[in-house]
Amino acid sequence: MNKAIYYGIRDVRVEDVPEPEIGPGQVKIAIKYCGICGSDLHEYLHGPFPNTVFGHEACGTITAVGAGVNGFSVGERVCSVFPGAFAQAIVCPQQQLLKIPDSMSWERAALLEPLAGAAYAIERGNIQPSDTVFIAGAGPVGLMVLLGLKAMGVQTIYMTDMVAQRRRKAEELGAALVWDPLETKTPAKIKTLTNGRGVDIAVEAVGVEASLKDCLASTRQRGTVVVQGIFTQRAMVHMFGFVVRETTMIGTNAINPALAHKWLSDGAIAPERIVTDMVPLADIVSNGFEALAGPDKRAIKILIHN
């Protein structure tokens, strides 16, 4: 079978490898889609991520069930959050699987894992439906947070992004107001929008100093900054405002699949709307990673398919 194997920075090769062998407690899945995550792109461009996660946003059909597995059977549709799924098939522990209802499309199911990251961040930040929220960044991470907040009934969500296409997408998906942080000074804009108070919660979804600063400076007294962006460089932040405003800052790097699954099943949000490209496994480098790494920033979320 074919599988994309990570060799190192900008070195991913699709190779013919033996089908994985199934063991006790494991389930074998024929992969339908696997999304490219920001962490996959980070590995591709900058080197391995802690607890490597290469190819973990997958969905597919069960083709075999190992000894001792209960609750799953051949032919069922599932999401898997287990790495190694830029492949035609994977074998994974049953704990890493969630069933997909018949009514849910494959495209929506493929977005479960990234939405689960947003679900975790939202829960970790203790965001409430009545909160006013600012999200710095309208890439896949920021847009998933936006959709998660929408699913839980948050009304007022402001967003920024430098890329026009991403700003348009954020508007389309229900952000109250979206602007270019290079053209508009975000803290001043947020002050005006919140009658001088600042937002209750800011979510950093880019991983750069400028947007972290915007988050810290846009949050109200005793507000919270949730950091989900993947930083590749140091950030110099002024700690004076952080102390004076008694800000809480939280890093997040986990998933809550159960909450994301609930949101998807409720059907109030359609995260598949952030998908810009469907790319065959054979083209994962040229039309997948390089499309995301390139300068034109047209692609938002790419699904790899078999």
Query: Which residues in this chain contact Zn ion in the complex, by CB under 5 A?
Result: 37, 57, 113
- Give the residue from 121, 146, 119, 123 showing the smallest Cα distance to 133: 146
Residue 37 tokens, joined: 């995550």
∠ CA 109-114-116, nearest 5°, is: 85
What DSSP string describes 238-268? -HHHHHHTT-EEEE-----HHHHHHHHHHTS
Min dist. Cβ of residue 52 to Zn ion (A): 12
Residue nearest to Zn ion (CB): 37
SS3 track for 131-160: CEEEEECCCHHHHHHHHHHHHCCCCEEEEE
- Lookup result for tokens 């936006």: 146
Q: How many CA atoms lie within 13 A of 15 on its CB side?
A: 9
Min dist. Cβ of residue 113 to Zn ion (A): 5
Min dist. Cβ of residue 38 to Zn ion (A): 7
Assess contact for 132 and 190: CB atoms under 8 A. no
Min dist. Cβ of residue 293 to Zn ion (A): 17
Q: Which is nearer to Zn ion, 37 or 291 (CB)?
A: 37
Q: Which is nearer to Zn ion, 43 or 57 (CB)?
A: 57
Min dist. Cβ of residue 256 to Zn ion (A): 13
Q: Which is nearer to Zn ion, 260 or 281 (CB)?
A: 260
Min dist. Cβ of residue 239 to Zn ion (A): 31
Instruction: Report H helices in the chain.
Output: 38-46, 106-109, 112-124, 140-151, 164-172, 186-193, 209-218, 239-244, 257-266, 290-293
∠ CA 19-98-284, nearest 5°, is: 50
Min dist. Cβ of residue 81 to Zn ion (A): 8
Cα–Cα distance measured from residue 184 to residue 99, given in angstroms and rounded to the nearest whole number: 44
